[in-house]
Structure 1
Amino acid sequence: MRWWDIDPVLELEKDLFPEDAWSRGMFWSELAHARGPEANRRYLVAESDGRIVGYAGLASSGELADVQTIAVARDHQGTGLGARLLTELLRAATAFECHEVMLECRVDNVRAQKLYERFGFAPIGFRRGYYQPGNVDALVMRLTVASDSGSAPGASSVQGTEIND
């Protein structure tokens, strides 16, 4: 993801997460840590026919990585794009030499939970009222990263969709 991707990503963000969408400043702050020798973030966009149809981000700190976000446009959900984005994030976690990857997922987002479980994430707890202003709980999940996470289970090919930094 680059700075010029922020506006189309924000449109998608607001469509998918109307109550708790990230702000422009949040994306700028994350991207500020995604380049250069001290980079500890990886942000991706998925494009199809010149349109951003998905994005994902990962933050790392020491041996721990955290999936910050994964989003797929409604008309591309169920195509395997979420799995491809997650696969790329796990590759980034390996490149950052992280041994564990954490994430939070809305308790009512069963589709995402099933995706994460296919990749080996396991629930480890809850964060009450994590998603605001809706006061929705988050399911916390963890994955111990294998050295060959580049061939993650559940990943699939999506024709005509390109994933870029």
Structure 2
Amino acid sequence: MKKLAFGPVVDDQTRLLILGSLPGDASLKAAQYYAHPQNAFWRLIGGVIGRDLAALAYLDRLDALKGAGVGLWDVIASAERAGSLDAAIRSPEAADLVGLIDSLPTLRVVAFNGATAAKMGRRVLDGRGVTLIDLPSSSPAHARPLAEKVERWAVLKPFVALE
């Protein structure tokens, strides 16, 4: 089944762009980034920006990210995939990452949420003059303790605007 990514969540104040691979089924059904209840994304990035994002309504979460200079998108624009696992992605079509980063005047760093995003994104963005950071996936399928993920995601703190 062909699955399509969402549009980017960015503005002209985006300093940190977090790239995932492709939204999973729960996210696609809800039309929201990181909608699976077991995905730790909102807790992880909330810890980075110092806000309890999980407690907010979805649009308020996005506003809080933008207010902290954080943007979201995916490295894959569309792909065939049964289920939600990155390992099941077939025939991926790349998102226009270069076009996006070139449109963000204050962008300083791109962080990849998981190995698939890092592998695909680095192919396109290496040498583009922006810092690239690989993060452990926020997905529940990536079985690492939450405390370890929190520690690894904390590297993003210098790149955000704390409220």
Answer yes or no: same fold by TM over 0.5.
no
Structure richer in helix, relative to its length: 2
- Relative to the length of structure 2, the TM-score reads 0.37
- Relative to the length of structure 1, the TM-score reads 0.36
Structure richer in strand, relative to its length: 1
Q: Give the number of the structure with larger relative contact order, counting CA–CA contacts within 8 Å between residues 6 or more apart.
A: 2
